[in-house]
Amino acid sequence: MTEQEALHQRFNKVWRNLPGWGTLAAVNHTSVGRRFMLTGAIFFLIGGLLALLIRMQLALPGQEFLNPDVYSQVFTMHGTVMMFLFAIPILEGAAIYLIPKMIGARDLIFPRLGALGYYCYLFGGIIVISSLLLGMAPSSGWFMYTPLSSTEFSPGPGSDFWLLGITFVEISSVSAGIELVVAILRSRTPGMTLSKMPIFCWYILVTALMIVFGFPPLILASILLELERAAGMPFFDVAAGGDPVLWQHLFWLFGHPEVYIIFLPAAGIVSTILPVFTGRPLVGYRWVVMAVILTGFISFGLWAHHMFTVGIPQLAQAFFSMASMLVAIPTAIQVFAWLATLWAGRVVYSLPMLWVFGFLFVFVLGGLTGVMLAMVPFNWQVHDTHFVVAHLHYVLVGGMLFPLIGGLYYWLPHFSGRMPSERLGRWGFGLVFVGFNATFFLMHLTGLLGMPRRVDTYETGFGWDWLNMLSSVGSFVIAMGVAIIIIDVLLHFRFGRKAGNNPWNADTLEWTTGTPPTMYNFASLPEINSRHPLWDNPELLQSIPAGEHGLTQIEHGRRETFGTDAITGKLKEVMLLPTNSWLPLLVASSLAVVCISLLTRSYLAAVVITIVAAIFLFRWSWENGGHPLAAPLGDKEPVEAPLQSRTLDGSGLWGMVITLLADGALFLALLFGWLYLWAVAPNWTLPDESLVSLPVMAWSGAFLTFATWWYCRAVKQLKAGDDTGLQTRFWVVTAAGAIHLVLLVGVTLVSPLAITELAHDAVLLVMLMFLIFHSSISVIATALQALRVRYGYVSKELPYEPVVLQPLWLFSLATFWCSVASFLLLPIAWGAA
């Protein structure tokens, strides 16, 4: 056995998944990422079959192949599956798989969170799909507009399946988003400054942050609608002072960024592949970074362009119209950066490049019709016609599926160590490309000829017949192409020729992890001084697996990777990564049971299982820091840098802050809903005096303020290296927080809120529940901290955790007083003025 093999054996023993069923306890990002992508691909096939059903129904006028009920379920599920169960998860899966390998880390920062995300996605997806098999799928469109999706007009459980299942999947998306942000910022290999990151990481960083801010509005909207359906709280009911258009705002506040959340990672794949096959670094790296950042922001300012026909004043429409057109600038910057790269380099025609060319062709066309649709008078004509269907498929299939399959072919040798068949691959591309354009190009004309969306059939004689026939034929050509690609991929595992280590002569670090990759990615973590490490320093391919770089000790049996400064990439600490764990599966399973109990309206069971899930989660948080299952003090400390549980600025703090950003976005969405209903809803009524006792709220807030202040003082002392009396201080904070919580719960229970009659009261209840939820977590977590001090898991040598909890207290405090000011005091002040 060579030295390198021995090293591999030692690392593999620590990093491998458990054998047999134990593989379900895997937390490793390579396993989790693969599972995400495989599951996403299966959902893609399901969504594709639904699309074929739609096209069969519309192939000829006056068909009754599907009845209107089934048809509505089919088109709703097609959109839902493709958007929520395919596009986002599969791209997240790709990011989860690739990002640590590109930035030179051995795993993602929060491996258990990644595994939890996968199981939430899997179970949520199964719940949503099962509705289809039970014949009770949601049927009011993937956008679920109220009041069509409300109990009155959708009495069956279809909407509940959507709301609960998709929210479950969104938990997974948000957790992956948080994990990716922190991983990219804090676990790059030493020397990789922001400006030396592979361009793909910039795309994923921005995308992940967009997920963090973009998903909470939809999560809130789903919670509100489910509360309306299950408990009769009338947020979207005009008669009770709600407004159905609030749903549209919240939905598109998520829905438009979502389009870019899907597009950006795919564009990142293009920006990664193009330089490899032109042999030139990406032209205009800085410009592209700038464009990506701008896209991330501007895409949040376009949501109302889905709502040009709801009767918003023209001036407001003009704002959104202009913002929609402006997003063409960052997109055009990227397109011209790609063209300039093609110009400067020498193009190698290979399968991934074919898909990149297909992407450019299709996506540019979709972008151009997008600018057309931003034009308000034109939008009034073609909105909700097949013109929009054509546009969105050009943007989403062109902007996401084409780069994704390009990426699949590019990284296939990395997954399997074998090359795909060039001939089959070309056939697959040709059929998908031709079929796609046959299906959707003339569909623009179908729309201009007035064919609306979501009709289950149509009469003959409007000029729509041959266009629909053509689209249907085209859709089956796409299906053939997809089938060939699947065959190609399946066959290559058996017949593909061996790929070798870096078959495309790529520039990024993931190609040094072996083909197929080892479970620990890198036996040694290199110092990086270049944006294109493998081009400038090809010997890394040998020296990394040979263990010639950093962090090679493994005898302690811990999974470790380097933690570095977010900006400069300077080495700061050694991060301890958790090993295989059943907790993610247990938590996700119990949440799935909660989901099913809510669906079957057995609320008592739901409450009990929620408590079980919470216990699992707190157990999860228990196995950290100085816990014997983590890294107790004095257990073969690393030599390069301190273990992060011995530091103050660890990844947990970053994870907490990013989570609170998502949480804050949810709170802002709630605040927006409140102010929106107040300003716009025709039957909104404010009571003459506050329904919630202000003195009690003031007392409750006083205790919360004290608890937070005392907690911050304790942390300050701990940071100064003094842990005397720490446990007592935490108990004092727990007690003060508990009093605050009791007062808050009490005031919620005694307030005379007519939650089923008035939207106003219903929103107040949601606000109070939000506060109770956050305060409870703060209090319980602090009590656990006090216990951990007692057991010696937290001390001045192990100061990591109290620092993590501090932002949560500050967040609870800020949202509490913000809520008091805007939900309770502002109406009084307004009434007095």
Q: Is 644 in the site for another protein (CB under 8 A)?
A: no
Q: Taking the complex as a whole, how short is the minimal distance between the CB of residue 107 and another protein, in angstroms? A: 25
Q: Residues 223, 269, 276, 365: which binds another protein (CB under 8 A)?
A: 365
CA–CA separation, 390 vs 50, rounded Å? 17
Please, which residues have CB within 8 angstroms of residue 483's CB and are 6 or more apart in sequence? none
Q: Please, what's the b/e burial string for 270-297 (b: 16 or more CB within 10 A of its CB; e: otherwise)?
A: bbbbbbbbbebbbbbbebbbebbebbbe
Q: Taking the complex as a whole, how short is the minimal distance between the CB of residue 372 and another protein, in angstroms? A: 5
CA–CA separation, 215 vs 128, rounded Å? 18
Q: Is 155 in the site for another protein (CB under 8 A)?
A: no
CB-CB contact of 795 with 626 (8 Å): yes
Q: Taking the complex as a whole, how short is the minimal distance between the CB of residue 139 and another protein, in angstroms? A: 8
CA–CA separation, 624 vs 626, rounded Å? 6
> What is the SS3 assignment for 536?
helix
Q: Residues 156, 232, 284, 632: which binds another protein (CB under 8 A)?
A: 284
Show contacts with another protein in window 187-246 (CB under 8 A): 193-196, 238, 243-245
Q: Is 657 in the site for another protein (CB under 8 A)?
A: no
Peptide bond into 584 cis (omega under 30): no
Q: Is 147 in the site for another protein (CB under 8 A)?
A: yes
Q: Is 378 in the site for another protein (CB under 8 A)?
A: yes
Q: Taking the complex as a whole, how short is the minimal distance between the CB of residue 662 and another protein, in angstroms? A: 16
Show contacts with another protein in window 553-592 (CB under 8 A): 566-568
Q: Is 728 in the site for another protein (CB under 8 A)?
A: no
Show contacts with another protein in window 665-694 (CB under 8 A): 675, 679-683
Q: Which stretch binds another protein (CB under 8 A): 10-18, 366-374, 514-522, 605-613?
A: 366-374
CA–CA separation, 536 vs 532, rounded Å? 6
Q: Residues 41, 328, 424, 480: which binds another protein (CB under 8 A)?
A: 328
The amino acid at residue 118 is: Y
Q: Residues 332, 607, 698, 821: which binds another protein (CB under 8 A)?
A: 332
Q: Is 336 in the site for another protein (CB under 8 A)?
A: yes
CB-CB contact of 245 with 310 (8 Å): yes
Nearer to another protein, 392 or 445 (CB): 445
Q: Residues 23, 63, 381, 728: which binds another protein (CB under 8 A)?
A: 381
Q: Which stretch binds another protein (CB under 8 A): 263-271, 333-341, 692-700, 796-804?
A: 333-341
Q: Is 634 in the site for another protein (CB under 8 A)?
A: no
Q: Taking the complex as a whole, how short is the minimal distance between the CB of residue 357 and another protein, in angstroms? A: 8
Q: Which stretch binds another protein (CB under 8 A): 5-13, 47-55, 123-131, 453-461?
A: 453-461
Q: How many residues bind another protein (CB under 8 A)?
A: 108
Q: Residues 291, 577, 786, 805: which binds another protein (CB under 8 A)?
A: 291
396 closest CA partner among 668, 666, 142: 142
730 closest CA partner among 741, 718, 746, 714: 714
Q: Is 141 in the site for another protein (CB under 8 A)?
A: yes
Question: Position of tokens 């228990």?
Answer: 622
Question: Position of tokens 């005031």?
Answer: 747
Nearer to another protein, 354 or 768 (CB): 354
Alpha helices in 88-242 (DSSP H): 88-103, 111-133, 158-186, 199-231
Q: Residues 344, 392, 612, 686: which binds another protein (CB under 8 A)?
A: 344
Nearer to another protein, 348 or 698 (CB): 348
Nearer to another protein, 313 or 695 (CB): 313
The pair of three-digit structure tokens given for residue 800, joined into one six-digit string: 């990591």
Peptide bond into 147 cis (omega under 30): yes
Q: Is 135 in the site for another protein (CB under 8 A)?
A: no
Question: Position of tokens 């294109």?
Answer: 532
507 closest CA partner among 232, 200, 744: 200
Q: Is 529 in the site for another protein (CB under 8 A)?
A: no
Nearer to another protein, 674 or 730 (CB): 674
Q: With helix as H, strand as E and coil as C, how does 657-698 read? A: HHHHHHHHHHHHHHHHHHHHHHHHCCCCCCCCCCCCCHHHHH
821 CB-contact burial (10 Å; exposed 0-12 / middle 13-18 / buried 19+)? exposed
Q: Is 362 in the site for another protein (CB under 8 A)?
A: no
The amino acid at residue 367 is: G
CA–CA separation, 130 vs 127, rounded Å? 5
Show contacts with another protein in window 68-127 (CB under 8 A): 68-69, 72
662 closest CA partner among 44, 182, 105: 182
Q: Taking the complex as a whole, how short is the minimal distance between the CB of residue 281 and another protein, in angstroms? A: 8
251 closest CA partner among 274, 216, 218: 218
Q: Residues 14, 18, 340, 810: which binds another protein (CB under 8 A)?
A: 340
The pair of three-digit structure tokens given for residue 676, joined into one six-digit string: 């929106």
Q: Taking the complex as a whole, how short is the minimal distance between the CB of residue 142 and another protein, in angstroms? A: 10
Q: Is 156 in the site for another protein (CB under 8 A)?
A: no
Binding pattern to another protein, positions 398-437, x when CB under 8 A?
Answer: ----------------------------------------
CA–CA separation, 123 vs 12, rounded Å? 30
Q: Taking the complex as a whole, how short is the minimal distance between the CB of residue 185 and another protein, in angstroms? A: 10
Show contacts with another protein in window 304-323 (CB under 8 A): 309-311, 313-316, 318-319, 322-323
